[in-house]
Chain A
Amino acid sequence: MPEAKTMILNMGPQHPATHGVLRVILELDGETVVKASPVIGYLHTGIEKNMEAKTYTQALTMTDRMDYLAPMSNNLVYAGAIEKLMQVEIPPRAEYVRVIMTELTRIASHLVWLGTHATDIGAMSMLLYCFREREKIIQMYEFVSGVRMMSSYFRVGGLAKDIPDGFDKRVKEILDTFPGRINEYEGLLTENKIWRNRTENVGVISAEDAVNAGLSGPNLRASGVAWDIRKSNPYSYYDKFEFDIATNDKGDVYGRYLVRLEEMRQSLRIIDQAIDGIPEGPYITEDRKIAPPPKERVLKGMEELIHHFKLVVHGFQPPEGDVYFSIESPKGEIGCYIVSDGSKKPYRVHFRPPSFVNISALNRLVKGRMVADVIACIGSIDIVLGEIDR
């Protein structure tokens, strides 16, 4: 029998700092990590399979539940894929609102990340501060869609309903308060000696390794690769707005922290440009084969009634074929691959979840580091288990 030199420590799935139900099997030599293997599957919900049994519109509601911290981004990638397949023209009003809402989503997701990550490292008050701000964004979700988290606000062809009165006023309130709040977080953490000790040169991944591991989003940009789908393959109206890609060349936990903070500021910048430019007009496409007409017209017109009836009972039918569409979610590249057989239900839906790809790099990050660094690294990757297991 070989001499036992290492200890196996089972971290999770009900460990407080594994962000849900991630399980990591750590092989430890003292407190030094020899190997870390993430084990997933504890939150498997069968979302992709379930979507095959629903019409395209019904299936959209399931996307909220994947990355439940960024529901709007998931809506957007799914709706965007179908729109690409069906070549739908989206009204500008909808595009503007989509940009604003997904950028708010990015801030909300980064706030949850910052709060939980800081709590993992011991700065427990950050969680409450970040959730205080996130609450404002969640209230915006409720304001536009009626639901706080599982909003399903984007629909194929546009939005579920028009933005309510006072939308721009509330967004401007957020724009006024948030920059100061982000500075407050920076004041607590950025130059904090203990914070820097815990995060600098921890979990370093080089640009080459990051690309090879398939990292995307802030994790990749923190390694110095300025790759952002909003810039490289602009979707929606992102090419109309000015913003910078936040990068850092360190590739460590601290770099990822700085990148995300800067991204929040850039998101605010995008919203600031978009909020005054929301044009008047329809909020969803006028193509009646995709979106039902407004309710009051349904009750009066024959044509509209037929369209409404067909769409509610049968849904729309994209042409046969397959499509891949990806956007920059707060966590990285989220992609949606849809195979259509021409019926009202998707033949197959597959997502490329950024968290799933990013967590696979965990072993590279933590090898040779201490147990405490594993926590810092898991936190800095920013995973959501709902998205990993789907």
Chain B
Amino acid sequence: MIVESILIILKVVVIFAALMTGVAYSTYFERKVVAFIQHRIGPNMTGPFGLLQPIADAIKLLFKETFIPNMSDRFLFTIAPMISFVAACMTLAVIPVGDWLNIGGQRIQLIISDLNVGILYILAVTSLGIYGIILAGWSSNSKYSLLGGLRSSAQMISYEVSIGLGIVGVLMLSQTFSISEIVRQQSGSIFNWYFFKQPVAFFIYFISALAETNRNPFDLPEAESELVAGYHTEYAGMRFSIFFMGEYANMITVSAIASSLFFGGWNGPFLPPVIWFVIKVIMFMFIFIWIRGTLPRFRYDQLMRFGWLILFPLGILNILITALILVL
């Protein structure tokens, strides 16, 4: 019992630390990739190849004044970034980074908690993250923040639906809510990946995930050319960086879910499972950044129309066709 508890705590610590490192270095990764897309060099001064840049950034942000605007709701203003960040991190608890491991007679599963309703848990927790954004927009007492908060709440709620519909496509084939079980079903051959059985579901999921994480071309809530910085306009210092970390944690989580559900998770030849998992996540992060370097931004109404009139019906159609094939 004690061993198990220690193991769980250990797993939480390791995965959280890995996530935080991932968050820090995905900012570096993003800056480097976007720089290369744009014929620039990117960070290269702090440490070799600029590798210490994220640490320098963190130190700078830590020492900044945490400013709370006048007439704002101090309590909500303070907890809003935390809600966002915690929700983003919690999701990773049910995503398996590898299969069972045997260490000294102890069988360890490389997942914090193998919930049998893991997918439902993910959908529930990601929805919580929206509260952080709404509250931030509302409590800042700024018009730009308010508009940003309104936009993102509408956007995230709409795209939550499509994300769900995309995932349902996989669920119908897998007949289980447990993510580790879904990953296991995709082992063996590359053609067992659900991406090949449910390509439409994947694209629905991926597009919605872009919107869900407020990434380009759906980065309206923080459209800097329109709303300055959207919901986090009034934030500074560590509070701002917690929002920022939340966004990147979200990107990693969404990439992790995509690779688990559609691209076989830890499955892969030769290399250890964890490495395969990381490679797939990095691949998705790269696509996120690539899109950011290329596409313009949607307008708010176009985004809603796209979500409800294209993605949503497409998702339902995909489910209907999958059901038909399953029955026949």
Which A positions have Cβ atoms within 8 angstroms of B? 7, 9, 15-17, 31, 118-125, 127-129, 132, 188-189, 192, 194-195, 197-198, 370-375
Q: Which residue from chain A places its CB closest to the CB of B299 in the assembled complex?
A: A372
Task: Name the residue among B39, B223, B294, B296 with the largest chain A CB count within 10 angstroms.
Answer: B296
In-complex Cβ contact of B37 among A17, A119, A125, A197 (8 A): A125
B21 sits at the interface (CB 8 A): no
Q: Do A375 and B225 contact each other (CB < 8 Å), given the known contacts A128-B39, A198-B299?
A: yes
Q: Which residues of A contact B299 (CB under 8 A)?
A: 197-198, 370, 372-373
Indicate whether B208 reaches chain A with its CB closer than 8 angstroms.
no
How many interface contacts (CB-CB < 8 Å) are there between A and B?
80
The proximity string for B residues 191-219 relative to A, scoring 1 for CB distances below 8 Å and 0 otherwise, is: 00000000000000000000000001101
User: Is B72 an interface residue when CB atoms closer than 8 A count as contact?
Assistant: no
- A122, B217: Cβ atoms under 8 Å? yes
> Do B147 and A15 have beta carbons less than 8 Å apart?
no
Bound form: Cα–Cα A20–B217 in Å: 25
* Residues of B participating in the A interface, judged by any CB pair closer than 8 Å: 34, 37-40, 143-144, 147, 216-217, 219-220, 223-228, 292-302
CA distance A156 to B225 in the complex (A): 41
Given contacts A128-B38, A197-B298, A198-B298, contact A371 B226 (CB under 8 A): yes
B221 to chain A, nearest CB (A): 12
A-B pairs with beta carbons under 8 Å apart, 25 shown: A9-B144, A15-B228, A16-B225, A17-B224, A119-B225, A121-B225, A121-B296, A122-B216, A122-B217, A122-B296, A122-B297, A125-B34, A125-B293, A127-B38, A128-B39, A128-B40, A129-B39, A194-B296, A197-B299, A197-B302, A198-B297, A370-B300, A370-B301, A371-B226, A372-B223
Is there contact, CB below 8 Å, between A9 and B223?
Answer: no
Bound-state Cα–Cα, A127 to B35, Å: 12
Are the C-beta atoms of B39 and A189 separated by less than 8 Å?
no
Contact A123 to B38, CB < 8 A, known contacts A16-B224, A17-B225: no
Instruction: Let me know if A9 and B296 touch, CB within 8 A.
Output: no
Which secondary structure dominates chain A's binding surface?
helix
7 A-B pairs closest in CB distance:
A122-B297, A17-B225, A128-B38, A123-B296, A122-B296, A120-B225, A121-B296
In the complex, besides A9-B144, A194-B297, A370-B300, 19 extra interface pairs with C-beta distance below 8 angstroms are A7-B143, A16-B228, A31-B147, A119-B225, A120-B225, A122-B217, A122-B225, A122-B297, A124-B292, A125-B37, A125-B38, A125-B294, A128-B39, A189-B296, A192-B295, A195-B296, A197-B298, A371-B227, A372-B297
Which residues of chain A come closer than 8 Å to B225, judged between CB atoms? 16-17, 119-122, 375
Q: Which residues of B contact A118 (CB under 8 A)?
A: 296
Q: Closest residue of chain A to B302, judged by CB? A: A197
- Shortest CB-to-CB span from A205 to chain B, Å, is 19
Are the CB atoms of A17 and B295 closer together than 8 Å? no
Q: Which residues of B are found within 8 Å of A375, using beta-carbon distances?
A: 225-226
Q: Tell me whether A132 and B39 are in contact (CB under 8 A).
A: yes
Interface centre among A16, A124, A192 (most CB of B within 10 A): A124
* Contact (Cβ within 8 A) A372 B294: no
